Amino acid sequence: RKEQEVDSKDAIILHQFSRPNNGVPSLSPFCLKMETYLRMADLPYQNYFDGKLSPQGKMPWIEYNHKKVSGTEFIIDFLEEKLGVNLNKNLGPHERAVSRAVTKMVEEHFYWTLAYCQWVENLHETRKMISMYGPFSDLLKWILCHLTKGIVKREMYGHGIGRFSEDEIYALMEKDMRSLAGLLGDKKYIMGPKLSTVDATVFGHLAQAMWTLPGTRPERLIKGELINLAMYCERIRRKFWPEWHHDDDNTLYESEESSETSKTHSPLQDFSFYSRTETFDEEGTENSISHTPDTDYTGHSLFDSDVDMDDCRDQEQGK
């Protein structure tokens, strides 16, 4: 196909993998992290699902004023320098250090356990979610998935984590998830009442366990014992992804009224420019959704930091 010309003058062009067909924005934690960050920072952007990797072989990557930047950490640094955005302005030196440590745990360790679950152990379900059309789509999806499986296993072995058994890999995953749950506690966001960059990272990864790994150990853990992580994911999804609706939503996190309201939704953004200021109303220093359900099944606001997690766990255990 003839390559499409991209004019990135004063526009953020986000290159990422195609949308899956299960309603989730991306099967890639890093693509979801980057797009969520752009929404958190209220930066208009345009998606390109051309499947083209960056010159470094990375995905996602951006173009801005004809400059190409890849690697989510470098992209965020670039946008902070060029556009003056900073989600970490409320963090002190100690909090910034903790935030970076959590980011590296999630991206350099937890990520690989998710990749193993997604592309090795749960490959059959993952293949169903891939969006591909045409007379040979099933064959192409099968080839793509098995190629990806081989790449993931090889890279995990090089990393070192792939040299352990399945049970050991899942044990490491559980330790990471429990660490995140303990760090979050009953706070609104990872570092406290206000958003920071680490929330885009953590959400991008936890969302995979929450919505793309049906019946797996991480899904059972996040929707069961570590329910504060599930409520955290719902908070961010509803605040920054009003058009993201999942057909198999667990109503445990919704009231009856909000469950009915959430059935009306618009499709995920594709090639048109997305600006959060056009979707969200101002509320104090932060933006919030004016018409999206924001209560869980207990009637507590999912945006509040004082949700009683013990009540939620008791309800879950009693089911």
Q: What is the crossing angle of helices 227-240 and 29-40, to 10°? A: 60
42 belongs to a structural domain? yes
Q: Which residues, in sequence order, are CB contacts of 254 under 8 Å at separation 6+? A: 262, 293, 295, 296, 297
Nearest to 117 by CA among 217, 224, 23, 222: 217
* Tens-digit pLDDT profile for residues 216-248: 999 999 999 999 999 999 999 999 998 887 554
289 belongs to a structural domain? no
269 belongs to a structural domain? no
111 belongs to a structural domain? yes
Domain that residue 125 falls in? 12-241
128 belongs to a structural domain? yes
Q: How confident is the model at residue 117 (pLDDT cuts 50, 70, 90)?
A: very high
Strand partners for 189: 192
In single-letter form, the type of residue at position 117 comes to: C
Indicate which CATH number applies to the domain containing 169: 1.20.1050.10
* Tens-digit pLDDT profile for residues 167-210: 999 999 999 999 999 999 999 999 999 999 999 999 999 999 99
Long-range Cβ pairs for the range 63-70 (8 Å, 24+)? 63/6, 63/8, 63/12, 63/13, 63/15, 64/8, 64/11, 64/12, 64/13, 65/8, 65/9, 65/10, 66/8, 66/9, 67/8
204 belongs to a structural domain? yes
209 belongs to a structural domain? yes
Residue 63, SS3 per DSSP: strand
170 belongs to a structural domain? yes
Domain count, the chain: 1
Q: What is the crossing angle of helices 166-184 and 197-211, to 10°? A: 130
* Tens-digit pLDDT profile for residues 121-166: 988 888 888 877 778 878 888 898 899 999 999 999 999 999 999 9
Q: Which residue has the tokens 């993998």?
A: 17
* Tens-digit pLDDT profile for residues 264-301: 444 565 544 555 544 443 333 343 333 333 444 444 44
Radius of gyration of the chain (CA): 19
Q: Round to whole Å and give the CA distance between 254 and 301.
A: 10
Threshold 0.85, pTM exceeds: no
